[in-house]
Chain A
Amino acid sequence: MALVDVKGVSKRFGGLTAVSDVDLTVNAGEVHCLIGPNGAGKSTLFKLIVGLYPPTAGSIFFDSVDITTERPYARVQRGMSIKMQAPSVFKELPVRQNIQIALQERLAGAERNAEEDRLLSLLNLADDCGKLAGALSHGQQQWLEIGMALALRPQLLLLDEPTAGMSPEETYKTGELIKSFNAEGMTVLVVEHDMAFVRQVAQRVTVLHLGKIFARGSLEAILEDEQVAEIYLGKTHAH
Protein backbone atom coordinates (compact mmCIF):
# COMPACT_ATOMS: atom_id res chain seq x y z
CA MET A 1 0.00 0.00 0.00
CA ALA A 2 1.34 3.44 -0.96
CA LEU A 3 2.17 5.63 2.01
CA VAL A 4 3.47 8.47 -0.15
CA ASP A 5 2.16 9.09 -3.64
CA VAL A 6 3.79 11.86 -5.64
CA LYS A 7 1.80 12.50 -8.82
CA GLY A 8 3.14 14.59 -11.69
CA VAL A 9 5.03 16.97 -9.42
CA SER A 10 7.16 19.73 -10.91
CA LYS A 11 9.10 22.53 -9.28
CA ARG A 12 10.48 25.49 -11.17
CA PHE A 13 12.73 28.23 -9.75
CA GLY A 14 12.48 31.01 -12.32
CA GLY A 15 13.87 29.52 -15.52
CA LEU A 16 15.28 26.42 -13.81
CA THR A 17 13.17 23.28 -13.60
CA ALA A 18 14.55 21.40 -10.59
CA VAL A 19 11.90 18.65 -10.61
CA SER A 20 9.90 17.81 -13.69
CA ASP A 21 6.69 15.76 -13.77
CA VAL A 22 7.84 13.24 -11.18
CA ASP A 23 5.71 10.25 -10.14
CA LEU A 24 6.97 8.44 -7.08
CA THR A 25 5.34 5.88 -4.82
CA VAL A 26 6.79 4.91 -1.46
CA ASN A 27 5.11 1.82 -0.06
CA ALA A 28 4.35 1.48 3.64
CA GLY A 29 7.07 -0.44 5.45
CA GLU A 30 9.84 -0.19 2.85
CA VAL A 31 13.25 1.46 2.79
CA HIS A 32 13.32 3.39 -0.47
CA CYS A 33 16.50 5.10 -1.67
CA LEU A 34 16.64 8.07 -4.02
CA ILE A 35 19.91 8.30 -5.86
CA GLY A 36 21.23 10.45 -8.65
CA PRO A 37 24.09 12.80 -9.51
CA ASN A 38 24.41 16.23 -7.92
CA GLY A 39 21.72 18.59 -9.15
CA ALA A 40 19.34 15.74 -10.02
CA GLY A 41 16.58 17.26 -7.85
CA LYS A 42 16.65 14.77 -4.98
CA SER A 43 16.74 17.32 -2.15
CA THR A 44 14.16 19.48 -3.93
CA LEU A 45 11.84 16.47 -4.18
CA PHE A 46 12.35 15.87 -0.44
CA LYS A 47 11.45 19.43 0.34
CA LEU A 48 8.37 19.16 -1.84
CA ILE A 49 7.24 16.02 -0.01
CA VAL A 50 7.72 17.59 3.40
CA GLY A 51 6.20 20.92 2.37
CA LEU A 52 9.19 23.26 2.52
CA TYR A 53 8.57 24.10 -1.15
CA PRO A 54 5.15 24.37 -2.76
CA PRO A 55 5.05 22.43 -6.04
CA THR A 56 4.61 24.33 -9.30
CA ALA A 57 2.42 21.49 -10.57
CA GLY A 58 1.18 18.10 -9.41
CA SER A 59 -0.13 16.59 -6.18
CA ILE A 60 1.30 14.82 -3.16
CA PHE A 61 -0.67 12.27 -1.15
CA PHE A 62 0.24 10.91 2.27
CA ASP A 63 -1.72 7.94 3.51
CA SER A 64 -4.26 8.64 0.73
CA VAL A 65 -4.81 12.24 1.90
CA ASP A 66 -3.96 15.11 -0.45
CA ILE A 67 -1.36 17.15 1.46
CA THR A 68 -0.15 19.29 -1.46
CA THR A 69 -1.09 22.60 0.16
CA GLU A 70 -0.50 21.65 3.80
CA ARG A 71 2.22 23.40 5.79
CA PRO A 72 5.22 21.35 6.98
CA TYR A 73 4.11 21.19 10.63
CA ALA A 74 0.76 19.68 9.59
CA ARG A 75 2.54 17.02 7.52
CA VAL A 76 4.80 16.23 10.48
CA GLN A 77 1.70 15.87 12.66
CA ARG A 78 0.35 13.37 10.12
CA GLY A 79 3.42 11.21 10.67
CA MET A 80 6.34 12.51 8.60
CA SER A 81 9.74 13.41 9.91
CA ILE A 82 12.78 14.71 8.07
CA LYS A 83 16.50 14.97 8.56
CA MET A 84 17.80 17.72 6.31
CA GLN A 85 20.95 17.58 4.17
CA ALA A 86 22.89 20.12 6.26
CA PRO A 87 22.62 19.49 10.01
CA SER A 88 19.61 21.42 11.24
CA VAL A 89 19.63 21.43 15.04
CA PHE A 90 19.16 24.06 17.73
CA LYS A 91 22.82 25.01 18.00
CA GLU A 92 22.60 27.31 21.01
CA LEU A 93 20.66 24.79 23.09
CA PRO A 94 22.08 21.77 24.93
CA VAL A 95 21.94 18.39 23.20
CA ARG A 96 19.44 16.99 25.72
CA GLN A 97 17.13 19.96 25.24
CA ASN A 98 17.20 19.37 21.48
CA ILE A 99 15.92 15.84 22.03
CA GLN A 100 13.48 17.06 24.67
CA ILE A 101 11.89 19.54 22.25
CA ALA A 102 11.39 16.75 19.75
CA LEU A 103 9.88 14.42 22.36
CA GLN A 104 7.75 16.72 24.50
CA GLU A 105 4.59 16.52 22.38
CA ARG A 106 4.58 12.74 22.47
CA LEU A 107 5.77 11.95 25.99
CA ALA A 108 5.86 13.60 29.39
CA GLY A 109 7.43 13.15 32.84
CA ALA A 110 9.47 10.08 33.69
CA GLU A 111 8.52 8.39 30.44
CA ARG A 112 10.03 11.27 28.48
CA ASN A 113 13.17 11.28 30.60
CA ALA A 114 13.63 7.55 29.99
CA GLU A 115 13.15 7.97 26.23
CA GLU A 116 15.62 10.89 26.20
CA ASP A 117 18.22 8.70 27.90
CA ARG A 118 17.52 5.80 25.54
CA LEU A 119 17.87 7.95 22.42
CA LEU A 120 20.99 9.70 23.70
CA SER A 121 22.76 6.43 24.37
CA LEU A 122 21.51 4.96 21.09
CA LEU A 123 23.07 7.93 19.29
CA ASN A 124 26.31 7.83 21.33
CA LEU A 125 25.55 11.29 22.67
CA ALA A 126 24.96 10.46 26.33
CA ASP A 127 28.36 11.84 27.41
CA ASP A 128 27.80 15.06 25.48
CA CYS A 129 24.17 15.66 26.48
CA GLY A 130 25.06 18.82 28.42
CA LYS A 131 27.06 20.37 25.55
CA LEU A 132 25.57 22.93 23.22
CA ALA A 133 24.49 21.23 20.01
CA GLY A 134 26.62 23.69 18.02
CA ALA A 135 29.73 22.43 19.83
CA LEU A 136 29.27 18.89 18.47
CA SER A 137 31.22 17.62 15.48
CA HIS A 138 29.48 17.57 12.09
CA GLY A 139 28.90 13.82 12.35
CA GLN A 140 27.50 14.11 15.87
CA GLN A 141 25.13 16.86 14.73
CA GLN A 142 23.93 14.48 12.01
CA TRP A 143 23.29 11.87 14.68
CA LEU A 144 21.49 14.37 16.85
CA GLU A 145 19.24 15.41 14.00
CA ILE A 146 18.49 11.77 13.18
CA GLY A 147 17.64 11.31 16.86
CA MET A 148 15.28 14.29 16.78
CA ALA A 149 13.59 12.90 13.68
CA LEU A 150 13.27 9.47 15.30
CA ALA A 151 11.94 10.95 18.54
CA LEU A 152 8.71 11.77 16.71
CA ARG A 153 8.17 8.05 16.01
CA PRO A 154 7.09 8.88 12.46
CA GLN A 155 5.33 6.62 10.00
CA LEU A 156 7.61 8.01 7.30
CA LEU A 157 11.21 9.00 7.98
CA LEU A 158 12.87 11.13 5.30
CA LEU A 159 16.65 11.21 5.48
CA ASP A 160 18.62 13.52 3.19
CA GLU A 161 22.22 12.29 3.05
CA PRO A 162 22.18 11.01 6.63
CA THR A 163 25.76 9.74 6.58
CA ALA A 164 27.54 12.82 5.19
CA GLY A 165 30.56 13.53 7.38
CA MET A 166 30.38 10.16 9.16
CA SER A 167 33.18 7.57 9.40
CA PRO A 168 32.60 4.13 7.75
CA GLU A 169 31.79 2.62 11.15
CA GLU A 170 29.30 5.38 11.94
CA THR A 171 27.79 5.00 8.46
CA TYR A 172 27.34 1.28 9.00
CA LYS A 173 25.81 1.86 12.42
CA THR A 174 23.39 4.39 10.92
CA GLY A 175 22.34 1.80 8.34
CA GLU A 176 21.71 -0.78 11.05
CA LEU A 177 19.74 1.78 13.04
CA ILE A 178 17.54 2.54 10.03
CA LYS A 179 17.00 -1.16 9.42
CA SER A 180 16.01 -1.72 13.04
CA PHE A 181 13.41 1.06 12.89
CA ASN A 182 12.20 -0.26 9.55
CA ALA A 183 11.81 -3.69 11.11
CA GLU A 184 9.45 -2.08 13.62
CA GLY A 185 7.27 -0.84 10.75
CA MET A 186 8.73 2.59 9.96
CA THR A 187 8.82 3.56 6.27
CA VAL A 188 12.07 5.22 5.25
CA LEU A 189 12.91 7.35 2.22
CA VAL A 190 16.63 8.10 1.93
CA VAL A 191 18.67 10.31 -0.37
CA GLU A 192 22.21 9.00 -0.39
CA HIS A 193 25.38 9.02 -2.48
CA ASP A 194 27.23 6.33 -0.55
CA MET A 195 26.49 3.17 -2.55
CA ALA A 196 27.71 0.87 0.24
CA PHE A 197 25.10 2.44 2.48
CA VAL A 198 22.44 2.13 -0.23
CA ARG A 199 23.33 -1.56 -0.59
CA GLN A 200 23.06 -1.98 3.18
CA VAL A 201 19.57 -0.51 3.57
CA ALA A 202 17.70 -0.18 0.25
CA GLN A 203 14.80 -2.41 -0.67
CA ARG A 204 13.83 -0.27 -3.68
CA VAL A 205 15.77 2.41 -5.50
CA THR A 206 14.67 5.33 -7.67
CA VAL A 207 17.19 7.18 -9.83
CA LEU A 208 16.64 10.85 -10.52
CA HIS A 209 18.45 12.62 -13.32
CA LEU A 210 17.98 16.25 -14.41
CA GLY A 211 14.84 16.49 -12.30
CA LYS A 212 13.16 13.44 -13.84
CA ILE A 213 12.73 9.81 -12.86
CA PHE A 214 15.41 7.97 -14.79
CA ALA A 215 14.99 4.44 -13.46
CA ARG A 216 13.45 2.53 -10.60
CA GLY A 217 13.49 -0.97 -9.19
CA SER A 218 15.63 -3.17 -7.00
CA LEU A 219 19.24 -2.11 -6.41
CA GLU A 220 20.49 -5.12 -8.40
CA ALA A 221 18.38 -4.15 -11.41
CA ILE A 222 19.51 -0.54 -11.14
CA LEU A 223 23.16 -1.57 -10.96
CA GLU A 224 22.78 -3.61 -14.11
CA ASP A 225 21.22 -0.74 -16.04
CA GLU A 226 23.89 0.50 -18.46
CA GLN A 227 22.37 3.98 -18.75
CA VAL A 228 22.30 4.44 -14.97
CA ALA A 229 25.87 3.29 -14.79
CA GLU A 230 26.79 5.83 -17.42
CA ILE A 231 25.09 8.87 -15.84
CA TYR A 232 25.80 8.19 -12.25
CA LEU A 233 27.57 5.12 -11.04
CA GLY A 234 30.43 4.84 -13.48
CA LYS A 235 30.73 1.61 -15.51
CA THR A 236 33.35 0.07 -13.24
CA HIS A 237 30.92 0.16 -10.29
CA ALA A 238 28.13 -1.42 -12.22
CA HIS A 239 29.71 -4.85 -12.35
Chain B
Amino acid sequence: MLKLLDGPQTLGRGRIFWSCFLAVLAGALIYPLFADSYDVGNFAYFLIWIFMALGLCLMWGYGGMLSFGQTFFFGIAGYGYGVLAINMGGGTATIAALVLSVVIAMIAAGILGYFMIWGGISGIFFGIVTLSATLVLAFFLGQTAGPEWHIGSARLNGFNGMKGMDPLTVGSFDIEGSALYYVMIALIVIVYIALRMLVNSSVGNVIVATRENPQRAEMLGYDVRKYQLLTFVIGSGLAGLSGALYTSWGQFITPSSIGLPAAAMPIVWVAFSGRNDLTATLVGSFLLLFGFQTITVYSQQAALVLMGVLLLATVMLAPQGFVLGIGKLVVDWWSRRRRRNESPALADAGRLQSDET
Protein backbone atom coordinates (compact mmCIF):
# COMPACT_ATOMS: atom_id res chain seq x y z
CA MET B 1 0.00 0.00 0.00
CA LEU B 2 2.71 2.49 1.02
CA LYS B 3 4.52 1.80 -2.25
CA LEU B 4 1.66 3.56 -4.02
CA LEU B 5 2.60 6.85 -2.35
CA ASP B 6 5.78 7.06 -4.40
CA GLY B 7 4.64 5.90 -7.80
CA PRO B 8 5.43 7.23 -11.27
CA GLN B 9 2.42 9.54 -11.45
CA THR B 10 3.54 11.91 -8.70
CA LEU B 11 6.57 14.17 -8.86
CA GLY B 12 7.59 14.39 -5.19
CA ARG B 13 9.19 11.12 -4.06
CA GLY B 14 11.69 9.73 -1.64
CA ARG B 15 12.89 10.53 1.83
CA ILE B 16 13.65 14.21 1.19
CA PHE B 17 10.18 14.89 -0.21
CA TRP B 18 8.42 13.17 2.67
CA SER B 19 10.64 14.94 5.22
CA CYS B 20 9.59 18.27 3.65
CA PHE B 21 5.97 17.09 3.69
CA LEU B 22 6.16 16.27 7.41
CA ALA B 23 7.91 19.57 8.16
CA VAL B 24 5.16 21.53 6.35
CA LEU B 25 2.50 19.47 8.12
CA ALA B 26 4.12 20.11 11.51
CA GLY B 27 4.26 23.84 10.68
CA ALA B 28 0.58 23.77 9.72
CA LEU B 29 -0.32 21.98 12.96
CA ILE B 30 1.46 24.45 15.23
CA TYR B 31 0.40 27.52 13.21
CA PRO B 32 -2.77 28.24 15.29
CA LEU B 33 -0.64 28.39 18.43
CA PHE B 34 1.16 31.46 17.08
CA ALA B 35 -1.39 33.14 14.81
CA ASP B 36 -4.46 35.13 15.82
CA SER B 37 -7.85 33.54 15.34
CA TYR B 38 -8.73 35.81 12.35
CA ASP B 39 -5.74 34.54 10.37
CA VAL B 40 -6.48 30.94 11.35
CA GLY B 41 -10.06 31.38 10.14
CA ASN B 42 -8.75 32.85 6.87
CA PHE B 43 -6.41 29.91 6.40
CA ALA B 44 -9.28 27.51 7.00
CA TYR B 45 -11.18 29.39 4.29
CA PHE B 46 -8.33 28.97 1.75
CA LEU B 47 -8.10 25.29 2.56
CA ILE B 48 -11.80 24.78 1.75
CA TRP B 49 -11.05 25.31 -1.95
CA ILE B 50 -8.12 22.92 -2.12
CA PHE B 51 -10.43 19.89 -2.47
CA MET B 52 -12.04 21.39 -5.54
CA ALA B 53 -8.61 22.07 -7.06
CA LEU B 54 -7.38 18.53 -6.32
CA GLY B 55 -10.55 17.13 -7.87
CA LEU B 56 -10.00 19.12 -11.05
CA CYS B 57 -6.34 18.08 -11.10
CA LEU B 58 -7.46 14.44 -11.02
CA MET B 59 -10.00 14.91 -13.81
CA TRP B 60 -8.08 17.27 -16.05
CA GLY B 61 -4.42 16.55 -15.36
CA TYR B 62 -4.62 12.79 -14.89
CA GLY B 63 -7.83 11.92 -16.72
CA GLY B 64 -7.67 14.45 -19.56
CA MET B 65 -11.21 15.74 -18.89
CA LEU B 66 -11.40 19.51 -18.62
CA SER B 67 -14.47 20.06 -16.48
CA PHE B 68 -15.92 23.52 -16.04
CA GLY B 69 -18.41 21.94 -13.65
CA GLN B 70 -16.53 22.12 -10.37
CA THR B 71 -18.76 24.92 -9.06
CA PHE B 72 -21.84 23.02 -10.31
CA PHE B 73 -21.07 20.23 -7.83
CA PHE B 74 -19.81 22.76 -5.29
CA GLY B 75 -23.23 24.39 -5.50
CA ILE B 76 -25.18 21.14 -5.34
CA ALA B 77 -23.35 20.03 -2.19
CA GLY B 78 -23.30 23.55 -0.73
CA TYR B 79 -27.06 23.98 -1.12
CA GLY B 80 -27.50 20.31 -0.21
CA TYR B 81 -25.71 20.86 3.08
CA GLY B 82 -27.87 23.91 3.77
CA VAL B 83 -31.13 22.12 3.01
CA LEU B 84 -30.17 19.04 5.03
CA ALA B 85 -28.71 20.91 8.00
CA ILE B 86 -31.78 23.18 8.24
CA ASN B 87 -34.26 20.32 7.89
CA MET B 88 -32.37 17.84 10.06
CA GLY B 89 -32.16 20.33 12.89
CA GLY B 90 -28.46 21.07 13.39
CA GLY B 91 -26.26 19.48 16.06
CA THR B 92 -24.40 16.28 15.20
CA ALA B 93 -26.81 15.84 12.28
CA THR B 94 -24.68 18.44 10.46
CA ILE B 95 -21.98 15.78 10.08
CA ALA B 96 -24.54 13.54 8.37
CA ALA B 97 -25.61 16.56 6.29
CA LEU B 98 -22.00 17.06 5.18
CA VAL B 99 -21.57 13.43 4.17
CA LEU B 100 -24.97 13.21 2.47
CA SER B 101 -24.48 16.43 0.53
CA VAL B 102 -21.18 15.12 -0.86
CA VAL B 103 -22.91 11.85 -1.77
CA ILE B 104 -25.66 13.83 -3.54
CA ALA B 105 -23.00 15.74 -5.52
CA MET B 106 -21.38 12.43 -6.48
CA ILE B 107 -24.72 10.97 -7.59
CA ALA B 108 -25.31 14.11 -9.70
CA ALA B 109 -21.81 13.67 -11.16
CA GLY B 110 -22.61 10.03 -11.89
CA ILE B 111 -25.76 10.97 -13.80
CA LEU B 112 -24.26 13.89 -15.75
CA GLY B 113 -21.04 11.97 -16.33
CA TYR B 114 -22.90 8.89 -17.55
CA PHE B 115 -24.76 10.83 -20.24
CA MET B 116 -21.65 12.73 -21.31
CA ILE B 117 -19.19 9.85 -21.34
CA TRP B 118 -21.52 7.17 -22.71
CA GLY B 119 -22.70 9.79 -25.23
CA GLY B 120 -19.14 10.10 -26.48
CA ILE B 121 -18.61 13.72 -25.38
CA SER B 122 -14.92 14.48 -24.99
CA GLY B 123 -12.31 17.20 -25.44
CA ILE B 124 -13.55 20.76 -25.62
CA PHE B 125 -17.19 19.62 -25.71
CA PHE B 126 -16.76 18.14 -22.24
CA GLY B 127 -15.87 21.62 -21.01
CA ILE B 128 -18.79 23.20 -22.89
CA VAL B 129 -21.39 20.79 -21.49
CA THR B 130 -20.13 21.06 -17.91
CA LEU B 131 -20.00 24.86 -18.19
CA SER B 132 -23.56 24.87 -19.55
CA ALA B 133 -24.75 22.77 -16.61
CA THR B 134 -22.99 25.17 -14.23
CA LEU B 135 -24.59 28.24 -15.77
CA VAL B 136 -28.03 26.62 -15.82
CA LEU B 137 -27.78 25.86 -12.09
CA ALA B 138 -26.51 29.37 -11.27
CA PHE B 139 -29.33 31.03 -13.26
CA PHE B 140 -31.92 28.66 -11.87
CA LEU B 141 -30.91 29.36 -8.27
CA GLY B 142 -30.81 33.08 -9.04
CA GLN B 143 -34.54 33.10 -9.79
CA THR B 144 -35.62 31.27 -6.64
CA ALA B 145 -36.24 34.41 -4.61
CA GLY B 146 -39.95 33.78 -4.07
CA PRO B 147 -41.29 32.06 -0.94
CA GLU B 148 -42.53 29.18 -3.09
CA TRP B 149 -38.90 28.11 -3.63
CA HIS B 150 -38.16 26.10 -0.53
CA ILE B 151 -37.23 22.54 0.35
CA GLY B 152 -38.83 21.70 3.67
CA SER B 153 -38.09 24.69 5.85
CA ALA B 154 -35.03 25.75 3.84
CA ARG B 155 -35.67 28.82 1.62
CA LEU B 156 -33.45 29.04 -1.48
CA ASN B 157 -33.72 32.86 -1.52
CA GLY B 158 -32.54 33.62 -5.07
CA PHE B 159 -29.47 35.84 -5.43
CA ASN B 160 -29.49 36.62 -1.72
CA GLY B 161 -28.67 33.00 -1.10
CA MET B 162 -29.57 30.44 1.50
CA LYS B 163 -28.71 31.09 5.12
CA GLY B 164 -29.61 29.90 8.59
CA MET B 165 -27.92 26.50 8.58
CA ASP B 166 -25.76 25.46 11.52
CA PRO B 167 -22.00 25.04 11.22
CA LEU B 168 -20.52 21.57 11.58
CA THR B 169 -21.24 20.49 15.12
CA VAL B 170 -20.43 17.48 17.25
CA GLY B 171 -22.76 17.30 20.22
CA SER B 172 -22.83 20.90 21.44
CA PHE B 173 -19.33 21.73 20.11
CA ASP B 174 -19.33 23.91 16.99
CA ILE B 175 -16.45 23.11 14.66
CA GLU B 176 -15.29 26.65 13.97
CA GLY B 177 -12.07 28.67 14.17
CA SER B 178 -9.05 26.52 15.08
CA ALA B 179 -11.15 23.34 15.28
CA LEU B 180 -12.34 23.85 11.71
CA TYR B 181 -8.77 24.58 10.65
CA TYR B 182 -7.58 21.26 12.10
CA VAL B 183 -10.48 19.41 10.46
CA MET B 184 -9.42 20.97 7.13
CA ILE B 185 -5.79 19.97 7.61
CA ALA B 186 -6.82 16.40 8.47
CA LEU B 187 -9.15 16.17 5.47
CA ILE B 188 -6.54 17.59 3.10
CA VAL B 189 -3.92 15.10 4.28
CA ILE B 190 -6.40 12.21 3.89
CA VAL B 191 -7.57 13.34 0.44
CA TYR B 192 -4.05 14.08 -0.79
CA ILE B 193 -2.69 10.71 0.37
CA ALA B 194 -5.72 8.86 -1.00
CA LEU B 195 -5.41 10.57 -4.39
CA ARG B 196 -1.67 9.84 -4.55
CA MET B 197 -2.43 6.18 -3.90
CA LEU B 198 -5.19 6.19 -6.50
CA VAL B 199 -3.14 7.73 -9.31
CA ASN B 200 -0.17 5.44 -8.59
CA SER B 201 -2.33 2.31 -8.51
CA SER B 202 -3.31 0.10 -11.44
CA VAL B 203 -6.54 2.14 -11.69
CA GLY B 204 -4.42 5.30 -11.94
CA ASN B 205 -2.38 3.65 -14.69
CA VAL B 206 -5.57 3.21 -16.72
CA ILE B 207 -6.72 6.76 -15.94
CA VAL B 208 -3.52 8.26 -17.40
CA ALA B 209 -3.54 5.74 -20.24
CA THR B 210 -7.05 6.93 -21.11
CA ARG B 211 -5.83 10.53 -21.11
CA GLU B 212 -2.91 9.63 -23.38
CA ASN B 213 -4.63 7.40 -25.90
CA PRO B 214 -8.17 6.21 -25.11
CA GLN B 215 -8.33 3.98 -28.16
CA ARG B 216 -5.16 2.11 -27.20
CA ALA B 217 -6.39 1.82 -23.61
CA GLU B 218 -9.60 0.23 -24.91
CA MET B 219 -7.56 -2.04 -27.17
CA LEU B 220 -5.85 -3.35 -24.03
CA GLY B 221 -9.23 -4.52 -22.75
CA TYR B 222 -10.23 -1.59 -20.55
CA ASP B 223 -13.70 -0.12 -20.70
CA VAL B 224 -12.35 3.42 -20.60
CA ARG B 225 -15.81 4.89 -20.03
CA LYS B 226 -15.98 3.32 -16.56
CA TYR B 227 -12.60 4.75 -15.62
CA GLN B 228 -13.59 8.17 -16.94
CA LEU B 229 -16.82 8.07 -14.98
CA LEU B 230 -14.99 7.01 -11.82
CA THR B 231 -12.54 9.91 -12.26
CA PHE B 232 -15.36 12.36 -12.89
CA VAL B 233 -17.36 11.22 -9.87
CA ILE B 234 -14.36 11.41 -7.50
CA GLY B 235 -13.20 14.78 -8.87
CA SER B 236 -16.70 16.25 -8.73
CA GLY B 237 -17.28 14.74 -5.29
CA LEU B 238 -14.24 16.66 -4.06
CA ALA B 239 -15.77 19.86 -5.44
CA GLY B 240 -18.88 18.87 -3.50
CA LEU B 241 -16.81 18.50 -0.34
CA SER B 242 -15.53 22.06 -0.87
CA GLY B 243 -19.11 23.26 -1.33
CA ALA B 244 -20.46 21.60 1.80
CA LEU B 245 -17.51 22.82 3.89
CA TYR B 246 -17.92 26.34 2.46
CA THR B 247 -21.59 26.48 3.46
CA SER B 248 -20.89 25.12 6.93
CA TRP B 249 -17.99 27.60 7.33
CA GLY B 250 -19.90 30.73 6.33
CA GLN B 251 -23.43 29.47 7.09
CA PHE B 252 -24.64 30.84 3.78
CA ILE B 253 -24.33 30.11 0.07
CA THR B 254 -25.35 32.19 -2.95
CA PRO B 255 -25.61 31.47 -6.69
CA SER B 256 -22.59 33.74 -7.26
CA SER B 257 -20.37 31.00 -5.84
CA ILE B 258 -21.50 28.82 -8.78
CA GLY B 259 -21.59 31.28 -11.73
CA LEU B 260 -19.06 31.97 -14.47
CA PRO B 261 -16.36 33.93 -12.56
CA ALA B 262 -16.40 31.32 -9.78
CA ALA B 263 -16.39 28.44 -12.31
CA ALA B 264 -13.26 29.83 -13.99
CA MET B 265 -11.27 30.03 -10.74
CA PRO B 266 -10.44 26.31 -10.31
CA ILE B 267 -9.23 26.24 -13.92
CA VAL B 268 -6.83 29.13 -13.18
CA TRP B 269 -5.56 27.56 -9.94
CA VAL B 270 -4.91 24.17 -11.50
CA ALA B 271 -3.50 25.49 -14.79
CA PHE B 272 -1.12 27.85 -12.97
CA SER B 273 -0.06 25.16 -10.51
CA GLY B 274 0.45 22.32 -12.97
CA ARG B 275 -2.46 20.09 -13.70
CA ASN B 276 -0.36 16.93 -14.06
CA ASP B 277 0.69 16.75 -10.45
CA LEU B 278 -1.26 16.65 -7.20
CA THR B 279 1.46 18.24 -5.08
CA ALA B 280 1.94 21.14 -7.52
CA THR B 281 -1.82 21.69 -7.50
CA LEU B 282 -1.97 21.59 -3.71
CA VAL B 283 0.87 24.09 -3.26
CA GLY B 284 -0.01 26.33 -6.21
CA SER B 285 -3.70 26.58 -5.37
CA PHE B 286 -2.94 27.50 -1.80
CA LEU B 287 -0.49 30.22 -2.90
CA LEU B 288 -2.96 31.63 -5.42
CA LEU B 289 -5.84 31.63 -2.93
CA PHE B 290 -3.63 33.33 -0.37
CA GLY B 291 -2.51 35.94 -2.91
CA PHE B 292 -6.04 36.42 -4.25
CA GLN B 293 -7.43 36.99 -0.76
CA THR B 294 -4.65 39.42 0.13
CA ILE B 295 -5.23 41.50 -3.02
CA THR B 296 -9.03 41.29 -2.64
CA VAL B 297 -8.73 43.22 0.61
CA TYR B 298 -7.58 46.21 -1.49
CA SER B 299 -9.47 45.58 -4.73
CA GLN B 300 -11.55 42.61 -5.84
CA GLN B 301 -11.40 43.74 -9.48
CA ALA B 302 -7.60 43.88 -9.37
CA ALA B 303 -7.53 40.33 -7.97
CA LEU B 304 -9.78 39.06 -10.79
CA VAL B 305 -7.66 40.83 -13.42
CA LEU B 306 -4.54 39.27 -11.88
CA MET B 307 -6.13 35.81 -12.14
CA GLY B 308 -6.82 36.45 -15.83
CA VAL B 309 -3.25 37.64 -16.40
CA LEU B 310 -1.90 34.55 -14.62
CA LEU B 311 -4.01 32.26 -16.80
CA LEU B 312 -2.73 34.01 -19.93
CA ALA B 313 0.86 33.86 -18.70
CA THR B 314 0.47 30.16 -17.94
CA VAL B 315 -0.92 29.38 -21.38
CA MET B 316 1.77 31.44 -23.14
CA LEU B 317 4.83 30.75 -21.00
CA ALA B 318 4.34 27.56 -18.99
CA PRO B 319 1.52 25.41 -20.39
CA GLN B 320 2.37 22.64 -17.92
CA GLY B 321 2.03 25.07 -15.00
CA PHE B 322 4.46 27.31 -13.11
CA VAL B 323 4.64 25.40 -9.85
CA LEU B 324 5.10 22.06 -11.59
CA GLY B 325 7.75 23.63 -13.85
CA ILE B 326 9.68 24.94 -10.85
CA GLY B 327 9.26 21.57 -9.10
CA LYS B 328 10.71 19.76 -12.12
CA LEU B 329 13.65 22.18 -12.26
CA VAL B 330 14.40 21.48 -8.58
CA VAL B 331 14.16 17.70 -9.12
CA ASP B 332 16.44 17.89 -12.21
CA TRP B 333 18.96 20.05 -10.35
CA TRP B 334 18.94 17.65 -7.41
CA SER B 335 19.37 14.58 -9.65
CA ARG B 336 22.26 16.23 -11.54
CA ARG B 337 23.94 17.19 -8.27
CA ARG B 338 23.59 13.67 -6.93
CA ARG B 339 24.97 12.17 -10.14
CA ARG B 340 27.93 14.57 -9.99
CA ASN B 341 28.62 13.56 -6.40
CA GLU B 342 28.37 9.88 -7.28
CA SER B 343 30.51 10.01 -10.44
CA PRO B 344 33.90 10.63 -8.67
CA ALA B 345 33.14 7.61 -6.48
CA LEU B 346 32.34 5.55 -9.57
CA ALA B 347 35.51 6.75 -11.24
CA ASP B 348 37.48 5.68 -8.15
CA ALA B 349 35.78 2.29 -8.24
CA GLY B 350 36.69 1.93 -11.92
CA ARG B 351 40.31 2.85 -11.19
CA LEU B 352 40.51 0.32 -8.42
CA GLN B 353 39.11 -2.36 -10.72
CA SER B 354 41.64 -1.63 -13.48
CA ASP B 355 44.47 -1.58 -10.93
CA GLU B 356 43.48 -5.05 -9.78
CA THR B 357 43.45 -6.40 -13.35
Contacts and interface: CB of A to CB of B under 8 A. Distances in A.
B223 A73 contact: yes
B212 A73 contact: no
A185 B202 CA distance: 29
B86 interface: no
B212 A152 contact: no
Interface string B202-231: 100110110011011111111110000000
A148 B205 CA distance: 14
A76 B209 contact: no
Interface string B193-204: 000000000100
B205 A76 contact: no
A135 interface: no
Interface residues of A, number: 26
Given A73-B224, A101-B205, A104-B202, A94 B8 contact: yes
A100 interface: yes
Contacts of B216: 84, 88-90, 148
Nearest to B276: A92
Contact of A73 (B202, B208, B213, B221): B221
Given A71-B218, A72-B218, A104-B205, A90 B223 contact: no
Interface string A144-174: 0000100010000000000000000000000
Interface in A45-82: 50, 52, 71-74, 76-77, 81-82
Contacts of A74: 223
Interface string A5-27: 00000000000000000000000
Dominant secondary structure of chain B at its interface with chain A: helix
B276 to A, nearest CB: 9
A90 B213 contact: yes
Nearest to A112: B202
Contacts of A89: 213, 216
B219 A93 contact: no
A152 B208 CA distance: 19
Given A76-B219, A152-B220, A152-B221, A92 B205 contact: no
A71 B223 CA distance: 9
Given A88-B213, A101-B205, A101-B209, A73 B8 contact: no
Given A73-B223, A105-B221, A52 B212 contact: no
A148 B220 contact: yes
Contacts of A216: none
A148 B223 CA distance: 17
A93 B208 contact: yes
Contacts of B205: 97, 100-101, 104
Given A71-B218, A84-B216, A91-B213, 14 more contacts: A50-B219, A72-B215, A73-B224, A76-B220, A88-B216, A89-B213, A89-B216, A97-B8, A101-B205, A101-B206, A101-B220, A102-B220, A148-B216, A148-B220
Interface of B: 8, 202, 205-206, 208-209, 212-213, 215-224
